[in-house]
A = this chain, B = another copy of it.
């Protein structure tokens, strides 16, 4: 999930909401995995230089430090992620968000048969960036491919090329359905999100329809009632079961959230990029 708007205690959206992300760590309804207990991470833009990242191998529901931070960190822009490991070890360096300079990256989904593709994809990463890969998860490699392909100048185009690289590598290895993804990216000012799958339905992705929706969600919450039209939430699963509050982002779509609550939508079209064989 991601928030862009006025400064808010992380708590309001992590713990104090109906069916929030911490609740989803125990009981997700729309994800591929009902339990997402293999670690947690959040990144935020606040005091100090660049974004802060807190990552933990504990399940989100059981991490005492996460409750502390949520209750005491206030930020205008943050991302949170719960993990269900698919093969790779449960370690902090495999937890999202991943960071490079001012950029944060989260991914809900997977690269198919990543074990077979890992070497090809790591070789396709800019050698200067290679040493920034500390863990063993597919997402960290995807992030470094996106950095290689210009994430910092045009995030959506870079992700389109990145998906192109992965699909090309997969097809040369005879792997189908290479990419299953929602991606979330931020540079501290804007927020980008992508919903895409090479084959079949992509993981779910929703944007808050407008601030009035958020206020209706929490009529009892004075902090949220004070918020204005500039605030925007992007989530994998709606926080509430009430119909009408959330706007589903269509498959094959990229969205840009700019400060001021502006939400722009465009098609997400992978660009074929061929990686030299090695």
B58 touches A57 (CB 8 A): yes
B65 touches A55 (CB 8 A): yes
Q: Which of A11, A74, A131 has the most CB of B within 10 A?
A: A131
In angstroms, how far is the closest chain B Cβ from the Cβ of A245?
26
Interface string of A194-212 (1 = CB under 8 A from B): 0000000000000000000
Assembly CA distance A131 to B122 (angstroms): 11
Judge if A72 is at the interface, Cβ distance under 8 Å: yes
A64 to chain B: closest residue by CB? B92
Number of A residues with CB within 8 Å of any CB on chain B: 49
Assembly CA distance A52 to B67 (angstroms): 9
Q: Which of B48, B72, B93 contacts A48 (CB 8 A)?
A: B72
In angstroms, how far is the closest chain B Cβ from the Cβ of A222?
13
In angstroms, how far is the closest chain B Cβ from the Cβ of A136?
5
Judge if A261 is at the interface, Cβ distance under 8 Å: no
- Residues of chain B within 8 A (CB-CB) of A130 are 118-119
Residues of A56-95 at the interface with B, using a CB-CB cut-off of 8 Å, are 56-59, 62, 64-65, 68-69, 71-74, 85, 88-93
Assembly CA distance A91 to B92 (angstroms): 8
- Residues of chain B within 8 A (CB-CB) of A263 are none
Assembly CA distance A122 to B119 (angstroms): 9
A74 to chain B: closest residue by CB? B47
Assembly CA distance A68 to B122 (angstroms): 27
In angstroms, how far is the closest chain B Cβ from the Cβ of A132?
10
- Residues of chain B within 8 A (CB-CB) of A136 are 93, 133-135
Interface string of A166-192 (1 = CB under 8 A from B): 000000000000000000000000000
A62 touches B91 (CB 8 A): no
Given contacts A52-B71, A52-B72, contact A35 B35 (CB under 8 A): yes
A119 touches B131 (CB 8 A): yes
Judge if A31 is at the interface, Cβ distance under 8 Å: no
In angstroms, how far is the closest chain B Cβ from the Cβ of A60?
11
Enumerate 30 A-B pairs (CB-CB under 8 Å) in ascending A order: A35-B35, A35-B37, A37-B59, A37-B62, A48-B72, A48-B73, A48-B74, A52-B68, A52-B69, A52-B71, A52-B72, A55-B64, A56-B65, A59-B59, A64-B89, A65-B65, A89-B91, A89-B92, A89-B134, A91-B92, A91-B93, A93-B136, A115-B131, A118-B131, A119-B127, A119-B131, A122-B122, A123-B123, A123-B278, A278-B278
Judge if A112 is at the interface, Cβ distance under 8 Å: no
